[in-house]
Amino acid sequence: MRLGVFGGTFDPVHMAHLIIAERVRDTLQLDRVLFVPCAIPPHKPDRSRAADEHRFRMIELAISGNPFFRVSDLELKRGGLSYTVDTLRRLTTEASLDRERLFLIMGADNLKDLHTWREPKAILELCRLVVVARPHVEIAIPDFGDVIRVDSPLLEISSSRLRAMVQAGQSIRYLVAPKVRHYISAHKLYEG
């Protein structure tokens, strides 16, 4: 089993997330990509978020139909601040995965901040880093480990921008999966 782990707030999950996950899966021939929505992001602990169950359900809806994608509530159930190193340790134990079969997917913006994460050296010992370019962010390969670079179409879509668009009454059609757009509308998420 070759597993890609894709963590984030996913508030909401959008088309760029899905495209990145698929490009990484295809390029590295992963058996599965696991979307892991965080409970509380350590670098943004005070930012309000849609309820955990909404973020989880939107991912389920977005990835339905892709047999290679799954969503995990591991961090949501654990609660509190979500540290990647804790999640990777749990996955290596539960799935018996070693560093050569566990891949952490991140954007270039996260790579430049990796040194500020909890136990960055342990993260590098537990998995291989897979970095995807982000618009207007240089990929600077750090000195502390090997990094796999995967090219993907650069889409300027951000969850924060989507939330602002919904709040302003603007359409997010084609920026999120249709089922996610309907879910956001039905549950009046991000409206104000």
Distance CA 115, CA 113 (A): 5
Helix (H, G, I), strand (E, B) or coil at 176: strand
Per residue in 125-143, pLDDT (tens digit) is 999 999 987 655 566 655 5
Q: Cα–chain-centroid distance for residue 52?
A: 14
Per residue in 141-171, pLDDT (tens digit) is 555 567 898 988 878 899 999 999 999 999 9
Q: Is 3-155 CATH 2.40.50.140?
A: no
Per residue in 42-91, pLDDT (tens digit) is 988 778 899 999 999 999 999 999 999 999 999 999 999 999 999 999 99
> Could you state, in order of their start, the residue ranges of all structural domains in the chain?
3-155
Angle formed at CA 38 by CA 50 and CA 139, multiple of 5 degrees? 110
